[in-house]
Chain A
Amino acid sequence: QVTLKESGPGILQPSQTLSLTCTFSGFSLSTYGMGVGWIRQPSGKGLEWLANIWWDDDKYYNPSLKNRLTISKDTSNNQAFLKITNVDTADTATYYCARTEGTHYFDYWGQGVMVTVSS
């Protein structure tokens, strides 16, 4: 079955770089039409899409954060990564990774990882 799990530092200070890892199973990011996206959710608030990476290494970013985001993948180890540079308190949120297969956007989600930015 398809599973995804996010991991991250938990807490970091303003201006640092946030590095997140999504480790998945049950599918391959080398399969045609497959993608992994990152979405975040501040506590008690709504969902914000951040970035997607596709089987062919195409990458798409939310323009509102584009200069700060880098998405990448390690197909052989079934992992996807997201880096956010120069974080501040507004980046405090639960970060989710989710699979997309063709037109099935975000059909499987990880459990999420909480990230707190605080001095």
Chain B
Amino acid sequence: DVVLTQTPSTLSATIGQSVSISCRSSQSLLDSAGNTYLYWYLQRPGQSPQLLIYLVSNLGSGVPNRFSGSGSGTDFTLKISGVEAEDLGVYYCMQATHAPPTFGGGTKLELK
């Protein structure tokens, strides 16, 4: 199975600060058709995960544009440009290029 390694595991930020989360894959996530099935989700405390980013860099429906995704191959990044209180929770990357789909271990974003 593809292993996704997220760093850091915990991130402390102040409101308004910009932060980045890294997701590294044990294999390239580029498929033979040129697609990269890399996703980012946010799970707020006590809630279900919600889709933030699909296919590396596309914003999910209703997701604020302070969120952005980038990367290619095995290295991917989620950036939040100006953290807001509602952004606190655990962030997960997920790959669906290789079966079975796998999730990273999560990055907890907390207030400093």
Q: Which A residues fall within an 8 A CB radius of B?
A: 37, 46-49, 52, 60-64, 96, 98, 103-112
Contacts and interface: CB of A to CB of B under 8 A. Distances in A.
A106 B61 contact: no
Contact of A106 (B41, B55, B102, B106): B41
The 9 closest A-B pairs by CB, nearest first: A109-B48, A47-B103, A49-B101, A62-B100, A107-B51, A105-B96, A46-B106, A104-B54, A46-B105
B37 A105 contact: yes
Contacts, number: 58
Q: Is the interface of A mostly helix, strand, loop or mixed?
A: strand
Nearest to B49: A109
Given A106-B41, A107-B54, A112 B48 contact: yes
B92 interface: yes
Contacts of A98: 49
Contacts of B105: 46
Given A48-B103, A49-B100, 16 more contacts: A46-B103, A46-B105, A47-B106, A63-B100, A96-B49, A98-B49, A103-B37, A103-B55, A104-B51, A104-B60, A106-B39, A106-B49, A107-B51, A107-B60, A109-B49, A112-B48
17 contacts: A46-B105, A46-B106, A47-B103, A47-B106, A48-B103, A60-B99, A60-B100, A64-B100, A96-B48, A104-B60, A105-B39, A105-B101, A106-B39, A106-B94, A107-B54, A107-B60, A111-B48
